Structure 1
């Protein structure tokens, strides 16, 4: 899994962008790509883990999990 930081999250629209820790272009993330129960949302500045998948136009984030949730599940 890759890691990064939520750069922008548009709660009203259900999408945003992640800045990868390894550098490179920001990665698009849609709320459908967030792996959590209940209301799926991210917080600007939050650290996340994710997988890159081929989207409609380019790569996007999938299986997105806040790192704090992963640590709590261990």
Structure 2
């Protein structure tokens, strides 16, 4: 009798492991395996964190890197502190930032410990000489200024 129960348990475990290893985008098991994103976007930011960022003063820096297709980049602060994460949802204005653009931004603490910061309310204040594209242009199109 014990052998029968062991076979049933093994069969159930085998089915569970095989179904979770073949998750497709429309699989019902897909939602069980998702890990929440550590990136804090304007949409997922809490009201209290948004208020903290809004009350912080504007700080200056330069865009170190920005990838439009990935939706993020980094800013090097003028005060020499460590580079800050920049998410596409926190960029204000109609142009895609390029490396070397001077920007103003506000510091926003990153949960859960709020020990690190990211840049929010990012505005380009001094453009580099390269042609800047508008957000409504495809990445390979020339911007019409």
Q: TM-score range by the shorter chain?
A: 0.7 to 0.9
> 1:67 aligned to 2:125?
yes
The RMSD of aligned alpha carbons is 1.8
1:26 corresponds in structure 2 to 83
More helix by proportion, 1 or 2? 2
The unaligned stretches of length 5 or more in structure 1 are: 70-74
Larger RCO (CA under 8 A, 6+ residues apart): 1
More strand by proportion, 1 or 2? 1
The unaligned stretches of length 5 or more in structure 2 are: 1-57, 128-145
Q: How does 1:1-74 map to 2 (within 5 A)?
A: 1-37=58-94, 41-56=96-111, 58-68=116-126
The aligned length equals: 67
Provide the C-alpha distance between the structure 1 equivalents of 2:98 and 2:86, rounded to a whole number of angstroms.
12
Runs of 4+ in 1 over 2 A off after TM superposition: 55-58
**TM-score, normalised relative to structure 2:** 0.43
